[in-house]
Structure 1
Amino acid sequence: MQENYVPYVREDFLESKPAPTGNRSAAGWMRRNLFATPFDSIVSVVFGVIVIWFVISTFDWLFINAVWMGGGRQVCATDVQGGIRADGWSGACWAYVGDYFTQFMVGSYPRDLLWRPILVALLFVALLVPMLIPSAPRKGLNAILLLIVLPIVAYILLLGGYFGMRHVETSLWGGLMVTLLLSFVGIVVSLPAGVLLALGRRSNMPIVKAACVGFIELVRGVPLITVLFMASVLLPLFLEPGNNIDKFVRALVGVSIFASAYMAEVIRGGLQAIPKGQYEGADSLGLSYGQKMTFIIMPQAIKLVIPGIVNTFIGMFKDTSLVSIINMYDLLGTVKASFGDASWQTPVTPLTGLIFAGFIYWLFCFGMSRYSAFVERRLDTGHKR
């Protein structure tokens, strides 16, 4: 150590500097994220021009130059001045969608009996909305009415033949009504069936485990079209003459079986993600197998795989369009069948119908996705994702 060491002590303080300003304006966000460097600026301008051009062109085709009223192909094959459209792409033909709207919703269901599907739709909304609201009371009663009573009432109302109501064959059903019926029944059946299959696959009983594994692998190994074809064509061959099963019921069975196999694997993934300590803790409390799964394991497993469950529901909702293989027409099948109407055959009619069907599919799928995100946030216990 040096003998003449003199410690340095500051006698004055540094001047205080102003705190950095937090620019949360739109211009500040654009400067940080879009125009931070010259390269970022060039890319942002190029893609911005492309996006703006696409949005303006799409909005112009869908709404500005679209045909909203009228009857027949002539209203969609002529421009606003009355001349024949050379390219046929001047605007969407929403008049065609308006003319076929009832067909898109219920198919060929008798028009004088439309009060039946309308009543079923109102009952469905009236029971579904309080079921989705967490603070709504009497969840148990609501679930029984929605999942058990409503399907029976809907079957009696839509099919008829009871209480003096006219019988309506399922071959006349179609449109969005068939899509919602197939997807709703598939969701109601696939979730509990998937839970049972997942538990059976993890069972210690060899026969139960082998049966569940065989069912899951067999169904997952074939496309849904094959399952529907087998349910519609091959199943009647194993029945006695005169004991035929309704074609719509066969479609319900096929969709439910297919969705249950995929749901079982989603639930099994959640069961495997539960720490072993949860099982041991439940055993140490003396809980039975049913109590352990009902109150400890299964709630945690389902919470972990909510995205996978909703993804399966969304996939099943869109896969209902495959029922056209058995001559049943859901929303997409009904839209495609309308293309053969010579009175509405124009270059813009098919695209307009497909855009309408795509918007309906997107609306329901986006709603399921947003509600699943809400449930995830509500059930979040503080774990960071």
Structure 2
Amino acid sequence: MKKLKYLSLFLLLFCFGVLFISCSSKGDKKTEKALVEAKYTCPMHPQIVEDHPGSCPICNMDLVKITQQKSNNNGLTLNDRQIELANVKTISVGNGNFNHSKLLNARIVTNPNKIQVISSKFSGRIDRLYFKEAGQKIEKGQALFQIYSEDLLSLQKDYLLNLKQENAFPSEPIYKKLTEAAKNKLSLYGYSTWQIKQLSTANKTDPYITVYAPDTGLITEMTITEGQYITEGMGLMTIENLSNLWLEADVYPSEIKDLKTGTSIQIEVSGFANAPIQSKIDFINPQLNANSQILTIRANLPNLKGDFQPGMQAQVKFPSANKSAIISVPNDAVIRDEKGNYVWIETGKHRFAVRMVEIGDESEASTIIKSGIKIGDNVVVSGAYLLTSEFVLKKGGNMMSGMNM
């Protein structure tokens, strides 16, 4: 009897032990499961999701704990106050027209056809410089420098001698030809018609010659100083005529199909936005830039008033491409991330769901939607990013979960 009593007590204690272990095991599994599902995100940057507490790598705010819900529900339900604070607004989608115009950043560069390098046509010494530094503006025909040259002196003597013989023997054509040859040689060495006429009138040699500006422009490079000896062919200074400049813009290869030589464009130079300039594309580089993998297009930019300078930034606007009977939404309605493009749809009173969409061309204000929404859907056009943040904070899951990627 006593043995039976001890046996019953042993069995009772064993049962309690098994039950306690079972409950503890289930509790541990639930705790472990909760720990696994615990996630942390940043309220300001919901794309940051970690499985442990810490700080946001972007703004250093403390991460907020969220719990993933194992559900394919990709919707949200908000109250009136939340909708008001998030400034959520919707529009009903319908067929409409789409005006597509491209806006590209561009830069102003020097037109190389308007650059002139003043080089020495004979050896000598720079006796006087009328302009001594780069950056100075000059006018066509303005004196640049005076040069002393023994070579020039011998050319003058040769011309005056042949001219004297021509006058002494007017009936001999050989002297006339020699005089003309000497005159042409002076011209090739930089003498103007007026200077040659002055030489023949004075009948006196002069080892100095003044070189004049061949065109109006800006001195961009100066490589000589007063008293310097120069050799034939040596570059002395560079003059750039800024009355006509080039505008260069970069486009991706996929965009070049809409452009061709002669396409009209509108140019807006930074600081002169109220005075757009009409021009045309006159060159499309057939080769990609090896580093950036983009193409360069070019247009002429008139600059008769001299307002523009090389290095200025500008914008190029291409003509609109009109499309009708298409679905388009404002650009702010489309959320873009590494997983795809999506919009928020109002599915009922204060209820919203996310839809993945395929986008087409984009303009400054709107984006074409190829698929994902239909006519009559109410698309969120204001507050879409706040809805995304609220979704991540509440559900902590993948916004594309359950969608056909």
| TM interval, short-chain normalised | under 0.3
Of structures 1 and 2, the larger Rg is shown by: 2
Structure 2 length normalisation: TM-score? 0.16
Higher relative contact order (CA 8 A, sep 6+): 2
Higher helix share: 1
TM-score by length of 1: 0.17
